[in-house]
Amino acid sequence: MTSYAKRTEDELLSPENTVLTVIDYQPTQINSVNSMNRSELIRNTEIVIELAKLYNIPIVLSTVNVEKGWNTDTIPVLKKAIGEDVPSYDRSSINAWEDKEYNEAIKATGRKKILIVALWTEACLTFPTLDALKEGYEVYPIVDAVGGTSPIAHETALRRVEQAGAQLTSIAQLACELQRDWNREETVPGFDELLTKLGAFSNLR
């Protein structure tokens, strides 16, 4: 049971090479999701955020049209999970990649692997994903924490970004990829708690 040393260059997702972006988890967008149960969507997104915090992955948060008064902020449960110390970049653009402050915030992390959750899948996830891929980033939509206006809109958007080179992932896969080795004991309790919350582990063990 001898593990190799932790990789310094890693093709897989690791806490050191990824950034998480959370885009438009606002009441208007959440209330118009029809591709999955909305309570499950919120719970799953909270788990994604908690995974990022557990593994010290930077988070870039964005909203649309809050300053214009046309929309309200990120829903409180997710805002609390992210933390008040994380700035929120409000935009007028549907495509976050076309917002200067947001774009600069992603690039300032120096990380080329972007984990993305955004509402809706067919717009606010698709557009920055396509742009980031074009600029040489690797983009990983977390499929069980995103949603669209209908099942077909959601699935078609995922097909479009996948064909363009995005690498779809799920919460359980992401968690295992970040943990990677049970010898990294400092994150094992948090990993166990979050996978139990997701339902991947039984709390009867």
pTM of the model: 0.96
pLDDT for residue 202: 63
pLDDT for residue 68: 87
Average the pLDDT over 85-100 and give the result: 97
Residue environment code for 25-48, b if the CB has 16+ CB neighbours within 10 A, otherwise e:
bbeebbeebebbeeeebbebbbbb
48, 124, 158, 161: the catalytic one is 124
Average the pLDDT over 143-156 and give the result: 98
Give tens-digit pLDDT for 158-184: 999 999 999 999 999 999 999 999 999
Residue 124 annotated among the catalytic residues of the structure: yes
Give tens-digit pLDDT for 45-74: 999 999 999 999 999 999 999 988 888 999
Topology of domain 18-198 in CATH is Rossmann fold (3.40.50)
pLDDT grade for 200, boundaries at 50, 70 and 90: confident
pLDDT for residue 165: 98
Q: Is 84 left (phi over 0), alpha (psi -120 to 50) or beta?
A: alpha
pLDDT more than 70, % of the chain: 98
Q: What is the 3-state secondary structure (H, E, C) of 127-162?
A: HHHHHHHHCCCEEEEEHHHCECCCHHHHHHHHHHHH
Average the pLDDT over 25-44 and give the result: 98
- Nearest-angstrom CA–CA distance, 134 and 149: 26
pLDDT grade for 81, boundaries at 50, 70 and 90: very high
Give tens-digit pLDDT for 128-144: 999 999 999 999 999 99
**For the chain, domain boundaries:** 18-198
